[in-house]
Chain A
């Protein structure tokens, strides 16, 4: 399985500011995804990060709020923009080598907005 590193592991941010989360994989992967996990809840897919093109967002998530970059096959960033307390969640990066193979997760970024 791939080794996935997320930075930062946690942060406390002021409302109205933005935070960029980085996801680095130790090998080239086909698919990279970003999930949100609200406190005590399940995982919800935010978007699929596409290399060299705009991310594909799920219903309820928009690019202006969650801009995503994926400059190559091993790295992606998720920005949480203009944060409010409702954005307090764990944000998780996930990767898969191929569309039909397993998906693995990073350790997550625990975000608290005050």
Chain B
């Protein structure tokens, strides 16, 4: 089955710096890669996702890149702010047809943005 590895487990940056979180997946058939942000005491919130037919997607300060050949994808946050501090999870799944394909999550990255 699919296995998703995520690095680093913790990341500390200064406000205004960029942050990059990387994930690798094992199943070459995976074609959907979402990123979730989880703040303390809350459920995961979808912040951005990418499908395998594109290599990059951007939404304001957040971007995700995908390298299908190497089977890795990354989350990039620019101009970080203290409110970006949270745990970030990557995930992978195979989407297609009518069948459900479960999300497999990475181990999470705790991002701390210091003022």
User: Contact between A108 and B34 (Cβ–Cβ < 8 Å)?
Assistant: no
Which A residues are CB-close (under 8 A) to B46?
1, 102-104
Minimum CB–CB distance from A53 to chain B (whole Å) comes to 14
Q: Give A69 to B89 CA distance when docked, in angstroms.
A: 28
Q: Name which of A11-19, A41-49, A70-78 contacts chain B.
A: A41-49
Interface residue tally on A, bucketed by range: 20 to 34
Q: Give A100 to B95 CA distance when docked, in angstroms.
A: 5
Q: Which DSSP category, helix, strand, loop or mixed, fits chain B's interface?
A: loop
Identify the closest chain B residue to A45 (Cβ).
Answer: B102
Question: B60 at the A/B interface (Cβ < 8 Å)?
Answer: no
Question: A99 at the A/B interface (Cβ < 8 Å)?
Answer: yes
Question: A31 at the A/B interface (Cβ < 8 Å)?
Answer: yes
The digit string for A79-114, where 1 denotes a CB below 8 A from any CB of B, is 000000000000010000001101111111010000
User: Contact between A42 and B101 (Cβ–Cβ < 8 Å)?
Assistant: no
Tally of A-B Cβ pairs under 8 angstroms: 51
User: Contact between B34 and A42 (Cβ–Cβ < 8 Å)?
Assistant: no
Identify the closest chain A residue to B42 (Cβ).
Answer: A107
Within 8 A of A (CB), among B12-71: 32, 34, 36, 41-46, 49
The digit string for A22-52, where 1 denotes a CB below 8 A from any CB of B, is 0000000001010000000111110010000
Q: Given contacts A92-B44, A105-B43, is CB(A99)–CB(B49) below 8 Å?
A: no
Residues of A within 8 A of B (CB): 1, 4, 6, 31, 33, 41-45, 48, 58, 92, 99-100, 102-108, 110
